[in-house]
């Protein structure tokens, strides 16, 4: 493709450059590729620009490139450790049955025909693929969805939706209808990562281009979704501090004040767990909107058949802030940190309709059992790493939970 317009640069310093990749341009460093075009635009043939992550050729949107070998190494580590957050917008042919959900598949890639596929079982060339989506708007048989990738497989978003009869508009490779404009209806909307030199958490976002198919979906839901997205982009999730304790106590009490299955003591459980041997400071997280703490999550150590795992309890969001994605954002950040700390599994006792959105499934599928009687669908677990070794047995909770050998509170 002949690139006539300058590539839009959102930010640059001595270590990184963030830009909008035009649809039709390849991400890799080759003649006419994104690094090559940027070098020409910047006027320096010897400019160091290294690709850290890729967007498929027909996909446009936000990308970051490293400007030194060390910056590339540190950013690549974040990609590997899932500390690199990637969010997309896509227009689907059809609409998912659920407004929010998690798609999990085993994906392979056939290099001969350059096409990904859903595989029935694992082998050396097949890897797990996980994404989370939210429907932002629907119109005339199409859906605008926000997508957050937990893994980064070749053609992942395209093939996972196509496998469910929801191909992306313009994506003929996977059965999507044709699109008048160049590219397909998939846009890299937001990136968040830690600066490779300063460690500062950085976030960059950009809306998709004007015109079809994005112009089809300009109704109230999209506007509300965009506002919510901006608000969540400004929300900070960080480790809880000592000075947060009083605010967290009040938040947890309010969050569970009208919960059906609550005993009213969740705020005291948090206080007790902080003083226990199972407490992990890095996994007591708060969500802060402006100067207000609006959410809290706590993961503590448990054992399963002698192996260490995590228990998620409790998860708390202010009542007036519920339904805005804060809880799922806390869970996913907790999972990311837990994976970096080397934990392989997280276990939760909770609502069977909510926690599967974050990848949880009945713990019995992993051979993990509760130390009390509970419906199978409410006692769940998630595997935090593909490399996590198999565990099985009865979960042993910290004494602070007040759970005996055969039943809990």
Q: What is the mean pLDDT of residues 261-278?
A: 90
Output phi, psi for 303, to 5 deg: -125, 145
Confidence of residue 85 (pLDDT cuts 50, 70, 90): confident
pTM: 0.59
CB 365 within 8 A of CB 326: no
β-bridge pairing 361-362 and 345-349: unpaired
Average pLDDT, the chain: 88
Q: Is 300 part of any domain?
A: yes
**CATH code of the domain covering residue 47:** 3.30.2350.10
Boundary of a domain, candidates 81, 100, 123: 81
Active site residue 110: no
Q: Does residue 381 share a domain with residue 300? A: yes
Q: What is the mean pLDDT of residues 238-262?
A: 90
Provide the CA 382 distance to its chain's centre, in angstroms.
Answer: 14
pLDDT of residue 184: 93
Q: Please tell me the total count of domains within the chain.
A: 3
Q: What is the mean pLDDT of residues 66-79?
A: 93
Q: Is 112 part of any domain?
A: yes
pLDDT of residue 288: 93
CB 34 within 8 A of CB 54: no
Q: Does residue 366 share a domain with residue 270? A: yes
Residue 46 has pLDDT above 80, yes or no: no
d(CA 189, CA 89): 6
Q: Does residue 375 share a domain with residue 274? A: yes
CB 382 within 8 A of CB 365: no
Q: Does residue 47 share a domain with residue 164? A: no
Q: Does residue 89 share a domain with residue 48? A: no
Boundary of a domain, candidates 61, 81, 101: 81
Q: Does residue 72 share a domain with residue 155? A: no
Q: Is 409 part of any domain?
A: no
Q: Is 102 part of any domain?
A: yes
pLDDT of residue 404: 56
Q: Is 407 part of any domain?
A: no
Q: pLDDT for 186-217, tens place per residue? A: 999 999 889 999 988 888 999 998 888 888 76
Residue 406 has pLDDT above 60, yes or no: no
Q: Does residue 105 share a domain with residue 89? A: yes
Q: Is 165 part of any domain?
A: yes
d(CA 317, CA 325): 10
Question: Which of 330, 250, 335, 230 lies closest to 292, judged by CA?
Answer: 250
Residue written as tokens 């199409």?
142
Q: Is 408 part of any domain?
A: no
Which of 177-181, 312-316, 354-358 is the least confident region? 177-181
Residue 258 domain boundaries: 237-401
d(CA 346, CA 83): 18
Q: Does residue 110 share a domain with residue 60? A: no
Q: Does residue 193 share a domain with residue 170? A: yes
Residue 96 has pLDDT above 70, yes or no: yes
Is there a cis peptide before residue 308, judged by omega within 30 degrees of 0? no
Q: Is 406 part of any domain?
A: no
**CATH code of the domain covering residue 285:** 3.40.630.30
Boundary of a domain, candidates 55, 81, 107: 81
Q: pLDDT for 142-179, tens place per residue? A: 999 999 888 889 999 999 999 999 999 999 999 999 88
The fraction of the chain above a pLDDT of 90, given in percent, is 61
Residue 358 has pLDDT above 90, yes or no: no
Q: Does residue 272 share a domain with residue 379? A: yes
pLDDT of residue 370: 96
Catalytic annotation, pick one of 29, 36, 56, 386: 56
Q: Does residue 395 share a domain with residue 283? A: yes
H and E: helices and strands count for the chain: 7, 20
Q: Does residue 186 share a domain with residue 40? A: no
């Amino acid at each position: 493709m002949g690139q006539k317009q300058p590539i839009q640069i959102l930010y640059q310093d001595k270590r990184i450059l963030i830009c909008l990749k035009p649809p039709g341009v390849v991400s890799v460093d080759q003649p006419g590729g994104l690094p090559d075009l940027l070098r020409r635009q910047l006027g320096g043939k010897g400019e160091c620009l290294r690709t850290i992550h890729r967007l498929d050729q027909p996909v446009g949107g936000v990308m970051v490139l490293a400007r030194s070998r060390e910056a590339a190494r540190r950013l690549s580590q974040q990609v590997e450790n899932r500390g690199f957050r990637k969010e997309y917008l896509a227009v689907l042919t059809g609409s998912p049955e659920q407004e929010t959900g998690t798609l999990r598949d085993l994906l392979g890639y056939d290099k001969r025909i350059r096409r990904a596929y859903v595989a029935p079982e694992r082998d050396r060339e097949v890897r797990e693929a996980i994404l989370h989506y939210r429907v932002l708007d629907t119109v005339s048989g199409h859906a605008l969805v926000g997508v957050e990738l937990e893994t980064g497989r070749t053609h992942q978003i395209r093939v996972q939706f196509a496998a469910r009869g929801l191909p992306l508009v313009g994506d003929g490779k996977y059965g999507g209808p044709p699109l008048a404009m160049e590219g397909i209806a998939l846009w890299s909307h937001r990136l968040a990562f830690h600066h490779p030199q300063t460690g500062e958490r950085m976030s960059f976002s950009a809306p998709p281009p004007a015109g079809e198919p994005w112009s089809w979906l300009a109704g109230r839901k999209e506007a509300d979704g965009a506002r919510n997205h901006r608000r969540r982009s400004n929300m900070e999730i960080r480790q809880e501090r000592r000075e947060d304790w009083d605010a967290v106590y009040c938040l947890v009490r309010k969050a569970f004040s009208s919960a059906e299955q609550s005993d009213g003591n969740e705020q005291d459980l948090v206080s007790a767990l902080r003083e226990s041997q199972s407490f992990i400071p890095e996994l007591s997280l708060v969500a802060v909107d402006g100067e207000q703490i609006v959410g809290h999550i706590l993961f503590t150590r448990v054992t399963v058949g002698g192996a260490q795992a995590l228990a998620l309890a409790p998860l708390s969001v202010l009542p007036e802030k519920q339904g805005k994605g804060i809880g799922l954002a806390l869970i996913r950040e907790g999972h990311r940190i837990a994976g970096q700390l080397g934990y392989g599994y997280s276990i939760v006792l909770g609502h069977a309709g909510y926690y599967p959105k974050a990848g949880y499934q009945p713990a019995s599928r992993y051979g993990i059992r509760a130390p009390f009687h509970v419906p199978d669908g409410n006692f769940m677990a998630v595997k935090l790493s593909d490399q996590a070794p198999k565990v099985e047995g009865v979960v042993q909770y910290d004494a602070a939970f007040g759970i005996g050998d055969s039943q809990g509170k």
